[in-house]
Amino acid sequence: MKSLFILLSLISLIFAACQTTKIKKTIKFSEKITKKTFGKLKNGQVIDIYTLENKNGLKTSIITYGAIQVSLFVPDKNGKFDDIVLGYDNINSYVTNNPYYFGSIIGRYANRIAKGRFSLDGKKYVLACNNSGTHLHGGIKGFNSKVWKFVSSKKNKNGVSLTLSYLSKDGEEGYSGNLKVFVTYTLDNNDELIISYKAKTDKKTICNLTQHNYYNLNGHDSGDILSHILMINADNYTPIDNGFIPTGEIKPVKGTNFDFTKPTVIGKNINNKDEQLIFGKGYDHNFVLNKNGKKGKMTFAASVYSPKSGRVMEVFTEEPGMQFYCGNFLDGNNVGKNGAVYNYRNAFCLETEHFPDSPNKPNFPSVVLNPGEEYLTKTIYKFSVK
């Protein structure tokens, strides 16, 4: 009788466990878009935060200040969701303490222009310099520190999206032309974060936009990223001088510390005695993506894998280049979300864009935008686990 009781108890426990497993497996998310107030600027202007969620539970939030992506929650190999991008909890920190451009849309020109000077049709332009005599990421008040306007949000069977816009006026930071810019963040049900850009100008100008997320696939507050495994689909890169400006050369990565054509641990060679690594204080270089004759078309750019979390991020882009930066200037002097302290090399960036200093390098792909033309480009960050 005792044996029968034990047997029945075991059967009951197994049945209960199966039911619990069944319940967990049948948990479903649905596409959602929500809007809240994130905070106010000193002038009283309200900054909104929009949260997008797909049917698989991936979730991201974007604010109207700088069109900044403040969070991105994706699951690990055990199904646990973590926020994998660095950022802040409040608007004041983004306004007063964001020299790293966390999560921002960058423009009118992403990356550096030497001495803030270039010529276009024989006319010389002088841009605002904000980085040791260099024009960096759009100048003193780039797109990262502007208030963007809400255009639309959409929800359908494929996912959710948010479109914001900004008008960069003629003369802003030294640029010519009124440039109307639209950026759309889409979180689809294939677990892809798609960032689409569109721009038009009424005068000949230059345009090079990107998005500046700092990623850590173990979670934004989980230490350095040196054990992440990176692959970049680039046989060449653009070397820099000691001011981070490309020399104009395009050099092969084969046989160098910049060869990521096969999956390579980020920290493997990062501290080697290499002039380029010394100039960049680690990796802070533009890679010339292999387009294989598909100029301007969507192609595979990179993949990153964290053995600890099992998260995988793949990057696809229409851009010709990608800046790989591994948080060399993070120094622990700022407190991020939930009190996290972001220290040296606690994150990496994969900024898809045209090459740095292209207006001064005729052999680099052109960044000129003419009236009547439309600037269109798209980048996809796809998430999975293994």
Backbone angles phi, psi at 270, to 5 degrees: -65, -25
Q: Is the pLDDT score of 287 beyond 90?
A: yes
Q: CA 49, CA 289: separation in Å to the nearest integer?
A: 34
pLDDT tens digit sequence for 203-217: 999 999 999 999 999
pLDDT tens-place string over residues 327-339: 999 999 889 999 9
Instruction: Please tell me the distance from the alpha carbon of residue 371 to that of residue 202, in angstroms, as a whole number.
Output: 5
Residue 27: the pLDDT is: 58
pLDDT value, residue 355: 98
Q: Using one digit for the tens of pLDDT, what is the confidence trace for 9-32?
A: 444 444 444 443 333 334 568 899
| pLDDT tops 70 at residue 58 | yes
For the chain, the first-to-last Cα distance in angstroms comes to: 47
- What percentage of the chain has pLDDT greater than the value 70? 93
pLDDT, mean over the chain: 93
Residue 6 pLDDT more than 70? no
User: What are the tens digits of pLDDT across the range 106-127?
Assistant: 999 999 999 999 999 999 999 9
Predicted local confidence at residue 20, as pLDDT:
36
pLDDT at residue number 29: 82
Amino acid at position 59, single letter: K
Phi and psi at 112, nearest 5°, equal -110, 145
What is the average per-residue pLDDT within 237-243?
98
Identify the bridge partners of residue 299 per DSSP, sorted by sequence position: 317
Instruction: Report pLDDT for 7.
Output: 42
Residues 122-155 have pLDDT tens digits of: 999 999 999 999 999 999 999 999 999 999 999 9
Per-domain residue ranges of the chain: 32-385
pLDDT value at position 285? 98
Whether pLDDT at 345 is above 80: yes
**Six-digit token string for 288:** 């010339």
Handedness of CA 266, 269, 272, 278 (dihedral sign): negative
Q: Where are the alpha helices (DSSP H) in the chain?
A: 2-25, 91-96, 275-280
Q: Can the peptide bond before residue 108 be classed as cis, meaning omega within 30 degrees of 0?
A: yes
Specify the pTM. Answer: 0.92
Q: Is the pLDDT of residue 239 over 50?
A: yes
Give the pLDDT confidence score for residue 30 in this predicted structure: 84
Instruction: Please give the pLDDT value at position 22.
Output: 34
pLDDT digits (tens, 9 = 90+) for 296-328: 999 999 999 999 999 999 999 999 999 999 999
Query: What is the percent of the chain with per-residue pLDDT over 90, rounded to a whole number?
Result: 91
| Active-site amino acid positions | 212, 351
What is the CATH topology of the domain spanning 32-385? Beta-galactosidase; Chain A, domain 5 (2.70.98)
Residue 164 pLDDT exceeds 80 = yes
Distance of CA 254 to the CA centre of its chain: 26
